[in-house]
């Protein structure tokens, strides 16, 4: 299993709902979550494979920033 973290500019549950269909359909994803209570919004993804390019693409296509941090 691989854990990835991305710094994003997601701000609210509406933002999360915009990316949810694509994130939920990615092959190999076990869980993903964004802690909206922290000043820096970190998307944490646990996956069975390296989905980094697809995750970055999903967020950017929806108009959000996404930078891998771990």
Q: Which domain holds residue 50?
A: 2-68
Mean confidence (pLDDT) of the chain: 95
Tens digits of residue pLDDT in 11-25: 999 999 999 999 999
Question: Is-above-0.75 flag for pTM?
Answer: yes
Tokens read off for 12: 């609210």
Phi-psi region of 14 (alpha: psi -120 to 50; beta: other; left: phi over 0): alpha
Tens digits of residue pLDDT in 23-68: 999 999 999 999 999 999 999 999 999 999 999 999 999 999 999 9
Of all residues in the chain, what percent carry a pLDDT higher than 70?
99
Interacting residues of 57 by C-beta distance below 8 A, sequence separation 6+: none
Tokens read off for 21: 């269909």
Cβ atoms of residues 64 and 9 within 8 Å: yes
> Which residue is it, tokens 């693409």?
57
We report the CATH number of the domain holding residue 6 as 3.30.70.100
Reported residue count of the chain is: 70
Domain count, the chain: 1
Res. 70 pLDDT band, cuts 50 70 90: low
């Amino acid at each position: 299993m691989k854990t990835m973290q991305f710094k994003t500019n997601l701000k609210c549950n509406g933002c999360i709902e915009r990316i949810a269909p694509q994130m939920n359909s990615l092959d190999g994803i076990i869980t993903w979550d964004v802690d909206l209570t922290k000043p820096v919004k970190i998307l944490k993804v646990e996956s069975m494979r390296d989905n980094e390019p697809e995750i970055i693409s999903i967020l950017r296509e929806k108009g959000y920033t996404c930078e891998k941090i771990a």
